Structures are given as structure tokens and as C-alpha cells.
Amino acid sequence: MVEKTYKRIKKYFQLKIIGSLFLPFVLSINFAYAQGVRLISDAETEQLLLDLAKPLFEAAKIPFENREIYIVEDNSLNAFVAEGNNLFVHTGTIMAAQSPDELSGVIAHEIGHIAGGHILRQKLKNKSLQEVSLFSVIAAGAAAVISGNPDVAMAAMLGTQNSVLTNYTMYRTSEERSADETAIGLLKQTKQSPQGMLNFMKKLANHTKLQGIEETPYFRTHPLTQERISFFEQAVKKYSYPTTFNLQHRFAMVKAKLKAFLQTPEQTLRQYPINDKSGPAQYARTIAYFKQLKLSLAQQELAKLLQKNPDNPYFYELKGQIYLETGKANNAKIEYQKALQLLPNSPLLQISLAQAILEAQPNVDDVQQAINLINKAMIKRPTAFGWLLLARAYGAQKRYAHAQYASAEYSVRIGAIDTAKLQLKKALEFKPDAQLKLKISDLSEKIK
């Protein structure tokens, strides 16, 4: 569930990214693209993105799995791909879209970067540009020595840097055009209208104007928005597939959920007033009331949702979260079990149930059940929070070597490297078995 993850399991890490879809960004002089990214996890949102992405990846003949979808907590209109075919979609993109077709268009563009081999080519291009930048510094130094005039040196360096930036922007613009063309091809193969992509591009143009951003070709890594709008308008005329809305209700539910968790309850209740009896409105109000600790109102809205759709696992997940975060762990267990029965392979639900079990004064069998659930979840979706829960569960079993190792894995993922070293040292003091000793050794090498 979004809120629990949003509060407790924020993950910060470094990624090399490419194909930032829409908004311009400033180039640093050394062309470094490492960027801190804050993620949230939500099974319902990730499943919707998977259902949109999978046909497009299959059309492009690119292997893809659910665990390669990530939701970035960021209000900007953007999406990007990173090494390993990982797809990142900003919450702002999801919340700004008006239909699943718009998201499909965004995803198709990003797949265009993967299909075009842009990630590898970008790494090679960055390396060559770094070498050119280094050359400009050397040339500037040589000019200063020969002329005895520092102004000559500065002119030499700026001239080379300007050439580098011009070369780079032309290169990136070419890649973006290529990704747009591939996106249209993928939408055509999957019989989806390019209208969604066109609608989103117009939305971006309006957003850019409202921000007062003047679009000029210089220092842009994407073609001009108006140019792209014209390109997609031609595609819509050429490929007259009907706009598909088969996922519209699911999309509206996800959008309402994200808004309710990521904005204030007051904002949510203004956007989804009490006279709105739709499913998305009831979903959003449930979360808003929960955040306000108006638990009776939250349960009333949730009961209406369950009455309409008793087989929706995400409603039971939300009910479990409300119980868990208000200190009713035994009730939370029951709801998470219902959710997991309906969605048995969800690693996020497995982790949530394990947490509820550990919060509910577990007996020996309960603790082992929690460990089994966590280990199963970690195969598909390893997380820092999973390692933290595992450390707690092993501690309850008095398996202290395993507990220290799991704690070290958690520490590594949150960047506490010195703490992780101490925990691994402590794990060895508890005389681990050969299998665990090998894991400790592997993690020690990874830290080095």
C-alpha cells in the first residue's frame, strides 16, 4: 500500500538514466547522469503499469518482468528507463493523465529508447564527451603557456565546451525522435491509438507555458513540444485505431488512490466531494478519512467499495493497513490473508502479512510463517524493509547470526555501510553455518 511505503520504506539510490521523456534538464559540465530517485511501492499501481507495458514490450521483443516497474514519487510529468530494462514512471505523470492510453503512449516512448539501444550508446557517448571535455582543459592549459594570456586559455576552453554541448544536444534530439517513431510503431502493432500520446503532449505544452518556460532548440535534449505534437497529429490521422478505454476504471481507481495518499486530506476531499458516489471518489475518501484518523468514516466508505466488489484484493489490503497502523494487528492479519488469497503471488502483500504477523504477538509457528512469507517475497522483490522484518523474525527465533546478517543487508540498502560492517562482524561471532558464512562473505565483498 502506498501510504505505508511512503512513510516507512523510502529508498534512495543512484541510477544512470536515459530517455527522460518530456521535461528539459540542465547538463552538468562533466555529463554525469547519476540522479537520486525516491520510490514508492504499490501493488495495484504496479499491476496497472505492467498490464499497459507488457504488450508493448512483447511487440518490441524485449523481455520484461513486473519487478522492473518502479513508481517515482515526483509531481513532474516524466518517465525514464535505466539499465536492465527498468521502467520508472513519475506519480505526476500518472495523476496528470486522463486515460490509460496516455500512459501507454508514455511507456511506448520509453520502450523506444530500449529498443534503439540508447542506454548503451548513451554510456559510450558520455565517455567520449568526457574525454573531449578533458581535452579542452588540456588545450586551455597549453594555450595559456604558449600565449602567456589567460584570456586565450579561457576562449579555447569555452570554444571546445560549446562545441561539445551543441554536439550532445543534436545527438539526444535524434534519439528522442527515434523513440517517438518507435512508440508509434509499437502502438500500431498493439492496435492502440496514438491519440493518448497526442493528448499527453498537448498537456505538456500547456504545462510548459504555465511554467513560463520558453522552448528553444538550443540546450534542449528533446525535439520542441510543438514539433512533436505535429508528428503525433499526423500519426493519429494515419492510424485510425479507436481509443481504448477497457482499463479506464482501474486507471481512475489508481489515480484516486495516488492522489489521496500523496496530497493532503483536505485537497482530496475537495476533489472527491461526498456527493460523488463513484468508486474512485469512495476510494479517495476512504484514504483521506484514514489519514485524518476518522476511522469510522473510512470504514463506511470502504464497506461500500467491498459491497460493490468483494473480490478486489486491494480493498482488503487497505483495510488491513488501516487496522495495522491503528494498532489492531490481529484484525490486520485477517484482512491481509484475504487479500493474499485473491492475489497469492504479490510480494508486497506477502510482506504486509508478515509484518502483521510479527506485530500480533506471534508464537513459534507464526514467526516461521512470517519468515517463509518474507523469503518468498524477497525472491521477486528484495527490499530494505523486507530485510528489516527478516532480522526481527530471526531475532525472535534466537537465530542471532541470521538476524545480524539480515540487519547488515538492511543497512547496506539504506547506505549505513559502517553499521553493516559491524553487523557482519557480529554475525561471524555467533558461529554461522557454512551456507550463511558464504552469504556473509559475499556481502562483505559487495561492500568492498
Tens of pLDDT along 188-241?
Answer: 899 888 888 888 888 877 766 555 544 443 334 445 567 888 888 888 888 777
Q: What percent of the chain has pLDDT over 70?
A: 73
Compute the residue count for the chain.
Answer: 448
Give the separation between CA 386 and CA 349, rounded to whole angstroms. Answer: 12
SS (H, E, C) the chain: CHHHHHHHCCEEEEEEEECCCCCCCCCCCCCCCEEEEEEECCHHHHHHHHHHHHHHHHHCCCCCCHHHEEEECCCCCCEEEECCCEEEEEHHHHHHCCCHHHHHHHHHHHHHHHHCCHHHHHHHHHHHHHHHHHHHHHHHHHHHHHHCCHHHHHHHHHHHHHHHHHHHHHHHHHHHHHHHHHHHHHHHHCCCCCHHHHHHHHHHHHHHHHCCCCCCCCCCCCCCHHHHHHHHHHHHHHCCCCCCCCCHHHHHHHHHHHHHHHCCHHHHHHHCCCCCCCHHHHHHHHHHHHHCCCHHHHHHHHHHHHHHCCCCHHHHHHHHHHHHHCCCHHHHHHHHHHHHHHCCCCHHHHHHHHHHHHHCCCCHHHHHHHHHHHHHHHHHCCCHHHHHHHHHHHHHCCCHHHHHHHHHHHHHHCCCHHHHHHHHHHHHHCCCCHHHHHHHHHHHHHHC
pLDDT at 62: 87
Measure the CA angle with vertex 318, ends 264 and 395; round to 5°: 105
Give per-residue pLDDT as tens, 97-109. Answer: 999 999 999 999 9
User: Cβ–Cβ contacts within 10 Å for residue 110, how many?
Assistant: 25
Of 122, 97, 107, 125, which Cα lies nearest the Cα of 52? 107
pLDDT at 228: 81
- The residue type found at 146 is I
- Given a contact cutoff of 8 angstroms between Cβ atoms, the answer to whether 349 and 341 are in contact is no
- Is the pLDDT at 280 greater than 60? The verdict is yes
Give the separation between CA 87 and CA 79, rounded to whole angstroms. Answer: 8
- Given a contact cutoff of 8 angstroms between Cβ atoms, the answer to whether 255 and 94 are in contact is yes
Give per-residue pLDDT as tens, 57-88. Answer: 999 998 877 668 889 999 888 888 877 678 89
Q: Which residues contact 133 (CB under 8 A, 6 or more apart)?
A: 29, 30, 31, 160, 161, 164
Phi and psi at residue 100, to the nearest 5°: -65, -25
pLDDT at 209: 58
**CA dihedral of 51, 57, 62, 67, whole degrees rounded to 10:** -30
Q: Which residues contact 448 (CB under 8 A, 6 or more apart)?
A: none
* Core vs surface per residue 283-294: b (16+ CB within 10 A) or e: bbbbbbbbbeee
- Is the pLDDT at 372 greater than 80? The verdict is yes
Work out the pLDDT band at 285, boundaries 50, 70, 90.
Answer: very high
- Given a contact cutoff of 8 angstroms between Cβ atoms, the answer to whether 367 and 396 are in contact is yes
pLDDT at 233: 83
Name the residue with cell 481504448: 244
Of 404, 377, 346, 42, which Cα lies nearest the Cα of 369? 377
Give per-residue pLDDT as tens, 125-169. Answer: 444 444 444 444 444 454 444 555 555 444 544 454 454 444 444
Average pLDDT (352-371) is 97
Name the residue with cell 502493432: 189
- The residue type found at 259 is K
Top-confidence residue, 139 or 417: 417
Average pLDDT (259-280) is 97
